[in-house]
Structure 1
Amino acid sequence: MPERDSLTSATDTALFGRRFDGIDTGATLGRIGSLEVRLARDPSEIAAAQEVRYRVFYDELGARRDVAHALDQRDADRFDAICDHLLVFDTALPGPEHRRIVGTYRLLRQEKATAAGGFYSNDEFELEKLVARHPGLNFLELGRSCVLPAYRSKRTIEVLWQGIWAYINHYTIGVMTGCASFHGTSPADHAEALSYLAHHCRAEGAWHVRAVAERYHAMDLLPPDAVSPRAAIAAMPPLIKGYLRLGAKIGDGCVIDHDFCTTDVFIVLPVSALSTRYINYYASEAERFAA
């Protein structure tokens, strides 16, 4: 495996100073117990986050490896260079700091996506049409959510959202979007949960967004009266349940991602729709780390 510093160019390295695009990449954005969250501050931390993603997506969940992935043992694509990487560290772990990363989120702001030719989700959902209907709002795409098995707890999710809340306030984000996934490539295996989302959580009106036509799979696999809300919600991945609690809506249609062995749905979460209880909670926590 190559040395970590050789994975990025000198130009890339120069981009990462103490401050990056106006936000302090070394500053703690949230803390719960021994867990701290902040942005990646250099290419070595991004590479370490990619290794954590590989351990979860490829080793644990069975994503399809290509030659580059197999050699580097990292989950990486062209979007990593233009995204900010939110990292959760367990400060109680021994060793160098980049080996204490236990969770990560990838954040792609609209201005960066526009300069790079589009959002990651454009291959699956008609996100650009949604963005075009809201020219006065600043969109943020969240993706590659990843937490190591031993840290899949409410505490880790909360510290991640402390960091996200600080980030969206710093950049005046108006809408959060992104793909969220069910494991496996058969929507029928998740018929009750997908049907519940289609019948009760679909984004409508100005927030409607659809899977691209050539990849569209219907989500309303069961009629409304055949769906048990309790069973449907229990069958959902924690990330999707978390988005729903915050006030998110779901796009029309799901997409099968054969590379990652997932069935993807699209999340639409205007900041104005965030539940008041969560705004009050995360705002009060953010004040502890305000610059």
Structure 2
Amino acid sequence: MLPFLSRGSPPEPVTLPGRLLGRAAEGGIQLRDGAPPARLFPRLAPRPALGLGPVLGRIGSLEVRLATAPREVKRAQRLRYRVFYEEMAAVPSIAALRKRRDVDEYDAVCDHLLVIDHAAREVRPFRKPRPLVVGTYRLLRQDQADRAFGFYSAGEYELGPILDANPGRRVLELGRSCVLKPYRTKRTVELLWHGIWTYVLHHRVDAMLGCASLEGTDPDRLALPLSFLHHFARAPEAWRARALPGRHVPMDRLSREAIDPKAALHALPPLIKGYLRVGATFGDGAVVDRQFGTTDVFVVLPVEAIAPRYVGHFGAGADRHAARGAVSPECHAPAPPAGPP
């Protein structure tokens, strides 16, 4: 599940706080020379690249856009908190509980994709009502990761071998995805994918990767979906990242012959089924994430492997849901009735 700064001078030694410190100790984070300190910088969210957005598309009252200001990133963090901690089983840190936002160091170096409903309002005490953020993804390009502290998924999987096996390929990490429960519909997911496809085309991305989650921390209870991914959707060797030593949980818990593919597909979360339909494949081994109450799998999707019907659906130029003359969601929006809580 898991989607997003001004630098000090001279560079300081890197100190990883909190969760990243644990990940680094496991060997999952490889810091680059001259990387900035892992802290929240004055400018939280980067501006979209020249010629891209911020509004990427619309379907009805829903709009997909890139965050361009810290307040928009915070709105994504509040949505993530609501889904991960209030609806699901994630255990918040004291800071997250106090802020009621899901925050980590990667938020400062990632781009954040938002789906906003102009027909609903977010109402907070002492704040002007705003269109409701109903979905989000966090996007981390390899050049961004190289300037900071690597990919987030390197905390669970060995990425070095697959990056070495694909030199010169532009890689995009997708993570921290979530959608507000009433909006978990085909329309919302389609708009998120339209935004990702537009971003991929603009930045000439060659492959997408990241971790996706199955709910629960007992791999034996997830034997059917894990085994299905292992036997029927395993990534080619050049893209098959392996779970880190000490965190690797075997996925081939059932034999290929014992798997009912129809039942296995039914047991998979909608997000993973969506990845499969588009053409994604999966890595070697699962990882149990007890903080979030999930079992994670590694997903990889080279652009060349995307099913042609999906390229045709969104358009080679990402023009199917392209926004023309779109306005910022922070102003000039109509005054629709209140939306879901």
TM-score by length of 1: 0.91
1:60 Cα deviation from its structure 2 partner: 0.7
Given residue 59 of structure 1, which amino acid in structure 2 is its aligned partner? E
C-alpha distance in 2, partners of 1:41/1:83? 11
1:25 Cα deviation from its structure 2 partner: 4.4
Given residue 34 of structure 1, which amino acid in structure 2 is its aligned partner? S
Equivalent residue in structure 2 for 1:33, among 60, 79, 89: 60
Could you tell me which residue of structure 2 aligns to residue 20 of structure 1? Answer: 48
Given residue 233 of structure 1, which amino acid in structure 2 is its aligned partner? L
2:119–2:131 contact (8 Å) kept in structure 1 = no
1:30–1:286 contact (8 Å) kept in structure 2 = no
Q: Return closer, same or farther for 1:270/1:113 CA change in 2, 3 Å cut-off.
A: same
* Higher mean displacement: 120-129 or 105-114: 120-129
2:214–2:295 contact (8 Å) kept in structure 1 = yes
Equivalent residue in structure 1 for 2:88, among 61, 70, 85: 61
Could you tell me which residue of structure 1 aligns to residue 201 of structure 2? Answer: 169
Q: Return closer, same or farther for 1:10/1:98 CA change in 2, 3 Å cut-off.
A: farther
Q: Return closer, same or farther for 1:23/1:61 CA change in 2, 3 Å cut-off.
A: farther
Deviations 1:111-152 (A, max 9, x none): 000111210000101122211211121000000010000000
Q: How many residues are matched?
A: 280
1:205-224 maps to which residues of 2 (within 5 A)? 205-224=237-256
Given residue 133 of structure 2, which amino acid in structure 1 is its aligned partner? I
1:97 Cα deviation from its structure 2 partner: 7.3
SS at match of 1:165: helix
C-alpha distance in 2, partners of 1:175/1:194? 23
Deviations 1:234-261 (A, max 9, x none): 0000000000000000001000001111
Instruction: Work out the percentage of aligned pairs sharing the same amino acid.
Output: 50
1:29–1:163 contact (8 Å) kept in structure 2 = yes
1:9 Cα deviation from its structure 2 partner: 7.6
C-alpha distance in 1, partners of 2:257/2:141? 40
1:89–1:103 contact (8 Å) kept in structure 2 = yes
* Higher mean displacement: 94-103 or 182-191: 94-103
C-alpha distance in 2, partners of 1:105/1:98? 20
1:182-261 maps to which residues of 2 (within 5 A)? 182-261=214-293
C-alpha distance in 2, partners of 1:97/1:275? 41
Equivalent residue in structure 1 for 2:110, among 64, 68, 83: 83
Show structure 1 runs of 4+ deviating over 6 A. Answer: none
Root-mean-square deviation over aligned CA pairs:
1.9
1:204 Cα deviation from its structure 2 partner: 2.2
Q: Return closer, same or farther for 1:285/1:206 CA change in 2, 3 Å cut-off.
A: closer
Given residue 117 of structure 2, which amino acid in structure 1 is its aligned partner? D
Given residue 22 of structure 1, which amino acid in structure 2 is its aligned partner? L
Given residue 212 of structure 1, which amino acid in structure 2 is its aligned partner? L
Q: Return closer, same or farther for 1:154/1:162 CA change in 2, 3 Å cut-off.
A: same
TM-score by length of 2: 0.78
Given residue 318 of structure 2, which amino acid in structure 1 is its aligned partner? A
C-alpha distance in 2, partners of 1:143/1:9? 19
C-alpha distance in 1, partners of 2:265/2:158? 26
1:52–1:102 contact (8 Å) kept in structure 2 = yes
C-alpha distance in 2, partners of 1:77/1:177? 19
Equivalent residue in structure 2 for 1:11, among 42, 63, 80: 42
1:30–1:285 contact (8 Å) kept in structure 2 = no
2:208–2:303 contact (8 Å) kept in structure 1 = yes
- Structure 1: gaps of 5 or more residues: 1-7
